[in-house]
Structure 1
């Protein structure tokens, strides 16, 4: 298992063609169930120069790179600031988890500003994101029987419930289990996942697990119906001002 505190990721930041406004670790490390052979999912925001935006060549709004370093597979995805802000303004919990990840590789004042504005984009509609993601992962588990999509299913539903109830994004499954009632076998599955990225959920009765998932879907529906979160973002203008100011400053 990769020790993120000992694994130096600073060269990754320095190697980017345009400045990174932030870079964080997402994926299984953020969700609290990395395995011995998990890759390191890096996510962030780059800042394209104005010349690339107004020229004839289509700007590289999203950059994706995968490579191996010292036996560890790295997966880096960054968006240009404008694209990332547009994603923030949708009910997209995934990008907010990246922005708010406590596993910070690189940060700037702009990262701090985006983080401060994040509460202004949270809405009750984010429940749809987590509900949809959970359904996709559940179908994957039914097909493969692997632990990873099953844990992703539980994690997505619990994150959605927590967000609807508290107005805060929490992606770490062990922390979620300390706050929300959930099946007692999940810590055992997390421990099994730590041993193998593609391990299977042996011994689980599919019908019983399906009942647990259905109960969490119902809990998410109930939490959404009573959430204090608004229906629309309130931070749109502030985010627009931030994009213009940062872009002009270069």
Structure 2
């Protein structure tokens, strides 16, 4: 049996056996791990506060037979702002699902932990949490090697300074020349100059400036359409959590609970 101390974000928390909780925890040194918190659903359990969704904690694990078990710990930050509205909670749940999917089989890398740290804080504070959530997935994909080509035409490499078509098949923007664009493809979307500027900022900005920008409502709408389509294309999965905001009576809310109550 090995003792391990690590910071970690609770990315998922669900019942396991009778009174236990199974946690998916994003750590800087071990990546995304699964850890059992024995008895954590008991009201008197000292582990109960450590199992609340999206909390940042100092965990004490013991590692035995290739499994992690939560032994003790303390909550560093619970991000209460995430519970301020269904919009905040839905936004962070969407981002967390994408982070879990991408890091589940990825080698441990502190850059994912750092990106999530900035993202969950910003979502908890932002007046536009859904936009932050969507943008975080673009930076996450870029960190994993799936950045879109936005600096020049992905066919002829000529720089473009105008509204353009983005081809999902080519994973890049296309200029207006016939040899490059051809007929408008069904797998393309129009990107305004403002949207391109926002996306380039998200791809290149240091983390401490990542979410520092001002954009118009038109850019928010255009960027949102692109980001949802790009995420679906690269992850080969149709993410549904944000649909809750448009169709609130058609969704199961049980997955958005933050605690054992």
Normalised by the length of structure 1, the TM-score is: 0.31
Structure number, greater radius of gyration? 2
Q: TM-score, normalised by structure 2?
A: 0.31
- Relative contact order (C-alpha < 8 Å, sep 6+): which is higher? 1
The structure where helix makes up a greater share of residues is 1
